[in-house]
Chains A and B, each alone.
Chain A
Amino acid sequence: MSSHYEAPIREPLVLGEKSYHDISVDVGAPVLGKANKSWWIVFTIALVAFLWGLGCIIYTISTGIGVWGLNKTVGWAWDITNFVWWVGIGHAGTLISAVLLLFRQKWRMAVNRSAEAMTIFAVVQAGLFPIIHMGRPWLAYWVLPIPNQFGSLWVNFNSPLLWDVFAISTYLSISLVFWWTGLLPDFAMIRDRTDSPFQKKIYGILSFGWSGRVKDWQRFEEVSLVLAGLATPLVLSVHTIVSFDFATSVVPGWHSTIYPPYFVAGAIFSGFAMVQTLLIIMRKVSHLESYITVLHIEYMNKVILLTGGIVTVAYAIEFFIGWYSGVPYENYTYLSFGAATGPYWWAFWALITCNFIVPLTLWVKALRRNIMYTFFVALIINIGMWFERFDIIVVNITKDRLTSSWAMFQPTFVDIGTFMGTIGFFFVLFLLYARTFPVIAQAEVKTILKSSGESFKRLRAEHGDD
């Protein structure tokens, strides 16, 4: 794609004396080896959480939405908060695989596979909430425009909730195809390296008979580029449509034109924080420190800084325009003086602290290159972005236009249990993925080894560029 020359000033992306063979061995090791005890412990915990969440979901559906903490004023709370939070987390995966591909960022190659996996698994969690928050989820298929016996009763295409259906389902399918296409050469590598006939059979099926001919590679690259070109507007539009759920309304604080780009920036912000959280652990337990280097972590921190900065400016704009509008109702919105001092002051300040103040420390180079510290900040951002969605959704509607309908929201154990359950489900999927999928796109990393590998850069420095 781009030239093999690389400026000496750039830091290497693959550390150590790695050869093509070493990459295959390192990436294949977790798949070809056996799970250790700690994997089983963590997996069990995640599975228990998932089953508990499943119980909560079954309880909700069989008993009624009333088991949640919702009331007549606050009709959306944890359900939609978690939905938006999970969709947001999913966005970093597509950003890394698609947008960074368009921008030809070589460092994405070590992180894209896991980021995409995270996208898929996060969108699966998100996809649960639109179903389970329905009063009659068994009629959910009515949201689809299918010809029927009610005189072909159709859906109303004016609702952003319907746009959500299309957005999320398209997003999941495109991400899945994009991910799987990238996996073909890597599954083939596992297929060719395994000794177990069972694994050979399985990875033979998964890799669709990939044999890596020139023509295949040409088309592979072209498909990746086209899908990246399609996934980029998709990633922007999906979270935009999620933001429309609120912005098209006339609720003070919800109705705001900045929501589309602001939600997208927030999604990337929270998504990258989640990628950091996962990869910092993964590079350690799967021994991938040579590929997911401190430089990768620093780059991701820079993306976090950028999107965090954009989100912060959006907060400031919301706050300012809330005042500037002169509309008295705007004083109870999630970013207003009223919110900072009102009954949800703790949610307001959690948002400001976690999303603005703590990430600011990443401007210090030593801190953003510190792995432990990054892990800590990433966790804080994940919490902060949950609060952002909570604030947007709940704080705005607790104090609406009529004071007689003001209310507070208190989650029940079912709200909390369902959320915990999705976290458990996410980790069940992710842990299974980490044991069975090549977690680094080895085929891609091999393309940058000679331009960006440490040993090759050193050779060039010693013997000249040409």
Chain B
Amino acid sequence: MYTLPTKLKLFSIILMVLGLVGIIFGFLTTPKTIDDVRKIMAEQESHHGEGHAVDGQDGADTANFVDEARGEEGYSGAAMEHATDLKAEGHGAASHEEHVLHQLQTRPWSATFVAAFFFMMIALGVLVFYAIQFASQAGWSPVLYRIMEGITAYLLPGSVIVFLIVVFAGTHFYPWQDHELVAGDKILQDKSGYLNFPFFLIRGVIYILGWNLYRYFSRRNSLAQAGANNYDHYRKNFKASVFFLIFFLVTEATMSWDWFMSMTPHWYSTLFAWYIFATMFVSGITVIALVTIHLKGLGLIPFVSDKHLHDLGKYIFAFSIFWTYLWFGQFMLIWYANIPEEVTYFIIRIQEYQGLFFGMLILNFVFPILVLMNSDYKRIPWFVVIAAVFVLVGHYIDVFLLVMPSTVGHNWSFGIPEIAALLFFMGLFIFVVGMGLGKVSLKPENDPFIKESENYHF
């Protein structure tokens, strides 16, 4: 039986309090009026002087748009307008300042959302991994079931918070919720059959309801199985997992469109949903490894051996490569064809977020592939911890890059709101997961494959 160590508990509470203060500070210090924006911009100018590099690049950006060169008013023209919208030099001075005001006001929302989603997706990724273990009748992983269930305890609070953020963010995140904008935009009008608020709300409710119901029932069955003398609860879980996986495959796609892709409602990519899935999945597996190492360090799970850690390491390794495969698939195809509607997404990310955009690849691909290639290293806890930390930082950046360029554009920075949100949700995550792990015995007795799992060698 695990109890959250008092120090860790205190630590998580401190993180939450500090984070909450920071988040509130972030919301309170956003500029309220255009005058505030002018003041901020004047301050920035005195700091940076005249040489603003962005000005020089602006012409180069728009030159990339073929339709602009042709001087035609078309669909890509509308897309381009959106791209320039996200940059400082969008329109005339007045609307430009208005635009900056909006982006600055969005920043605390985005900062909170990035961190909130990052920790929720870990819990969701673990839940999917857990369901796959049941559906595939895995023989190695049953010793880790309680650990996975402990982590997915975060899904309920995490997903509710994420849901509340996307519902209340309104036009901060989702331009299609701005009726004035939609009235003048033919593309958005055409999409309003899908991108409308009531439907958006209903879909969100379905997602979090479905995911949390599976988590609730699978946990209940799993615990009931420990005290049973037949495999009925296990069989129920097997079925539930299969149906959850189908449900997830569909809702994950629509969730990605709803919560992320519609932040830039003119842009679309068919791979997008699966790309987000890969991020989610690899982060989830990484956290399973971290929690396992923590519990193993406390001596609470003698039945988990370094062979199990080895397997988790292999999964981190494999799905890091899988993530990169999807990242590259999406990026290369859009880069190669260079269709104006599509490239806007990467233009802003490469021009305004270059360090993060390419740095993420080193963290998420180069690092795990080098560190976790050797099979001996995958059995050394501290080695896996190092790889895991890098992978998690990398995927935080990944989520950051999904959200920030689409919402705050070039007015981004990494300061108090971002750090505070990260601290708050980390504290909440540690607290909830610690509590979730603590309620029951860490060994799932009576699972049909538990003996296979305990005797597992590789």
Contacts and interface: CB of A to CB of B under 8 A. Distances in A.
Nearest to A363: B242
B337 A5 contact: no
B330 interface: yes
B272 interface: yes
B382 interface: no
B249 A309 contact: yes
Interface in A1-46: 1-3, 5-7, 9-10
B334 A257 contact: yes
Interface stretch (A117-125, A318-326, A340-348): A318-326
B274 A255 contact: no
B329 A5 contact: no
Contact of A313 (B187, B253, B257, B329): B253
B376 interface: no
A237 B187 CA distance: 35
Contacts of A309: 246, 249
A2 B246 CA distance: 30
Interface stretch (A67-75, A85-93, A206-214, A242-250): A242-250
B80 to A, nearest CB: 15
Contacts of B40: none
Interface string B422-458: 0000000000000000000000000011011001111
B83 to A, nearest CB: 16
A236 interface: yes
B383 interface: no
B50 interface: no
B205 interface: no
A388 to B, nearest CB: 15
Give the size category of B's interface with A.
Answer: 35 or more
Contacts of B269: 257, 321
A133 B139 CA distance: 48
A5 B194 contact: no
Contacts of B337: 248-250, 255
A326 B326 contact: no
A348 to B, nearest CB: 18
A387 B60 CA distance: 44
Contacts of B274: 258, 261
B231 interface: yes
Interface in A269-325: 309-310, 313-314, 316-318, 321, 324-325
Contacts of B229: none
B270 interface: yes
A250 B339 contact: yes
A257 B187 contact: no
Nearest to B142: A7
A240 interface: yes
Interface in A413-466: 465
A13 B407 CA distance: 55
A168 B253 CA distance: 32
Contacts of B332: 248
Contacts of A6: 139, 452
A365 to B, nearest CB: 11
Contacts of B321: 233
A9 B457 contact: no
Contacts of B187: 326
Contacts of B139: 2, 6-7
B268 A313 contact: no
A137 to B, nearest CB: 27
Contacts of B339: 250, 255
A3 B457 contact: yes
- 3 closest pairs, A vs B, by CB? A258-B270, A257-B271, A260-B329
Given A250-B337, A257-B330, A465-B451, 11 more contacts: A5-B452, A9-B448, A257-B271, A257-B272, A260-B326, A260-B329, A261-B325, A313-B253, A317-B253, A321-B269, A327-B341
Interface of B: 75, 137, 139-140, 187, 190-191, 194, 231, 246, 249-250, 253, 257, 268-274, 321, 325-326, 329-330, 332-334, 336-337, 339, 341, 448-449, 451-452, 455-458
23 contacts: A1-B458, A2-B457, A2-B458, A3-B455, A3-B457, A6-B139, A233-B321, A240-B325, A244-B333, A248-B333, A248-B337, A255-B337, A256-B270, A256-B271, A256-B333, A257-B269, A257-B271, A259-B270, A259-B329, A261-B325, A316-B253, A324-B268, A325-B268
